[in-house]
Chains A and B, each alone.
Chain A
């Protein structure tokens, strides 16, 4: 009796195991052959533009597209890109010029957008054989944001205004922002911020934290849709600390050589999305709860790109 029971349970478990191995194997095989793996970082804007890249390739080529969206941050995306899609990595994702310049290359920030783009394009090519395609148009710069009524009450417009009362405030930032040289460490030096305390947290949680009042200042992305939803005011970087963060697809050179048509297909996105448009798209997802993939597809249709 007991023995039968044990055998039964073992049989079920073994079946599940075999079935799952089969499935797993199938999923992994997807990344070889005429396949392009498109990645994105783990915030809304990235998932939207990542889906746009994937949709465009799907619509204009016969290549099979695998979407690896929502990867945990710049380092995961970039490491995956260096490995390539055929090797458990990715082939293309959208990166920002400032992030490439300061965070990945470890170079000095510049306020000149063209110079930033030229530098990353040259260095990525020389060091890793990775190509920067044409920028999409919007500049998703880092910035600081406070509640609108708080800004009114204390008459804060710029980072310098904020500095004057910074010793009474708590700053909440994403973990990446608190560590990156083009994030808080550099910003603190430039403006001489003296925040009472700083807290690092996950991307979306800082909006919750500023709403509940646990922090008074957060780092924000200029095109972030959540800024609208939470009545936050973007402050002006009056000493121009943050470099420009123009978004552009980064793709492996070997993939471009194999499928040269990809260059023109993806460059159709060049200068197509303004700051306002990107913020609106982000808001459709973060504010109105639409699917990022749908928002991307609708935008491309509107622009006549697919």
Chain B
């Protein structure tokens, strides 16, 4: 029974799988936090200075177009091996959906709502924090959600530069022609992506202002 074989193998390697899953979560999580910390302010900045918006979006698009392995190759001479280059790469890829959705979310708000705020005498600062950002939050979260699932996938490449993660089982399995090992890495990575997607869909609903739910 092949399925039983696969499950047995996973049980045998459970210790490894748990450690590698932990590393995987850690690497993708730090990368996503970095991407949010850069992406959201960048998106807000773009609404303030529309002239730079096409440049920044173009840049984020261009980064996305670099083949991931080539990107890693560039990063090793600069950052060495280990978690740093992996986090840099994953956050660079995760940036686009976050920047894009922040920008779209903020610019797509109904003019009437903004004007109502203005009519109430809000300053530009107040408009941003009390109207624009809360209204855009569901869209921003949708971008973060895409970015997180991507990050979990891209983090498998971390194994190629000594940062560990579930990619280690996947790449080791490929080079040993051992399908059980590939599955032992791929299935937890998949479950991780789905679980995180679920958590963020929950968050997405939770941050939607009551008025527009």
Contacts and interface: CB of A to CB of B under 8 A. Distances in A.
Interface string B80-101: 1111100000000000000000
B62 interface: no
B79 A289 contact: no
B80 A80 contact: yes
Interface on chain B toward A: helix, strand, loop, or mixed SS?
Answer: helix
Chain A's interface size range is 35 or more
Interface stretch (A115-123, A162-170, A204-212, A272-280): A204-212
A20 B25 contact: yes
Interface in B146-198: 159-162, 168, 171-178
A208 B83 contact: no
Nearest to B181: A289
B30 A21 contact: yes
Contacts of B176: 44, 204, 226, 285-286
Contacts of B207: 6
Contacts, number: 106
Interface in A46-70: 68-70
Chain B's interface size range is 35 or more
A184 B162 CA distance: 28
A305 interface: no
Contact of B81 (A16, A17, A90, A207): A90
B73 interface: yes
A205 B172 CA distance: 11
B71 interface: no
A68 B80 contact: no
B47 to A, nearest CB: 24
Contacts of A285: 176
A9 B79 contact: no
B162 A70 contact: yes
B202 interface: yes
Given A42-B171, A72-B160, 5 more contacts: A2-B206, A17-B30, A42-B172, A70-B159, A71-B81
Interface of A: 2, 5-6, 9, 16-17, 20-21, 23-24, 27-28, 31, 39, 42-44, 68-73, 75-76, 79-80, 82-83, 87-90, 202-205, 207-208, 226, 229, 285-286, 289
